[in-house]
A and B are shown apart, each in its own frame.
Chain A
């Protein structure tokens, strides 16, 4: 397994940084399976939100009805996140400070207005574990946290604070603001952040695809 990982890393794409530092960055290699997985997770989340929105016309749907879907999607997001971490393992990708060339491709894909700006050109030499995690891996970690918050919005709108004191503590930890509302406006806002980050993670992975192979 280790040999396989090293082999993958050895074929990692080397890109000259066009920014201030003029140094060379080794970014995590393009992973077609990961790109496909991110695209599929994005579609699944959009479908999930659409189903929830549809059900909202009859009031807040029971959290328990959606919990199996939430658990399943959380597991698939974890799989994609793990793959992104493994793919970028050891590649000295300086967080998300991607080279200018990749940023241009990202902007072409997503549109400048929809794109969260990426700092280009700067490099970090720090070799701590956090720094060497690739950009896609970092974004996937963010997506997972955002999904957890999204499901909590539904939980706190659907499940009343229990009577039992131990159960109350668990509820209070998950619902620090107390009982919440869930309507289409809240749903749109709560899902928007995750959709953006997930689409962004996909676009970052796609931007690593070698030139000439992009469909």
Chain B
């Protein structure tokens, strides 16, 4: 499966209702745009790490991992900000969603996830 934003977003949305459980209705309205932002970030980071390995700019893997963690933190905070969910519940749901992504997109496993 190719590493493109739409495919990642679809995979996230399909696993999110299970991951968020009864809280999904609070999150669903804005989840897609947030997931799209995270997926875009994932693809960009992956590409930049690959570019660096080829000596074509970008940045190295540790930097890519740090940037991804920052983006994930922003996403967690956004979910907490617009819902009454506690951070640990949001983190748990995102862990589950990213776990599904890791199974579907092996390229991400070796890189940032």
Interface residues, chain A, CB within 8 Å of chain B?
94-97, 116-119, 122, 124, 126, 130-131, 135, 138-139, 141-142, 145-146, 149-150, 153, 156-157, 176-183, 185-186, 189-190, 193, 197
What's the interface size class on B, roughly? 20 to 34
State which of B8-16, B79-87, B88-96, B100-108 sits at the interface with chain A.
B79-87
Q: Which B residues lie within 8 Å of A97 (CB)?
A: 82-83
Chain B residues whose CB sits within 8 angstroms of the CB of A130 once the complex forms: 84, 86
Q: Shortest 5 CB-CB distances between A and B: which pairs? A: A117-B30, A177-B62, A142-B77, A124-B84, A181-B63
Contact present for A181 and B59 (CB under 8 Å): yes
Say yes or no: A146 contacts B73, CB within 8 Å: yes
A–B pairs, 16, beta carbons within 8 Å: A95-B80, A117-B33, A117-B34, A119-B82, A142-B78, A142-B81, A177-B62, A177-B65, A180-B60, A180-B62, A181-B63, A185-B57, A185-B58, A186-B59, A186-B67, A189-B67
Flag whether B26 is at the interface (Cβ < 8 A).
yes
In the complex, the answer to whether B63 meets A186 with C-beta atoms within 8 Å is yes
Residues of chain B within 8 A of A135, CB atoms compared: 81
Identify the B interface with A (CB < 8 A).
26, 29-30, 33-34, 41, 44, 48, 57-60, 62-63, 65-67, 69-71, 73-74, 77-78, 80-84, 86
Closest Cβ of chain B: how far from A151's Cβ, in Å?
12
> Residues of A contacting B83 with CB < 8 Å?
95, 97, 119
Also in contact, A185 and B59, with CB within 8 A (given A97-B82, A124-B84, A139-B81): yes
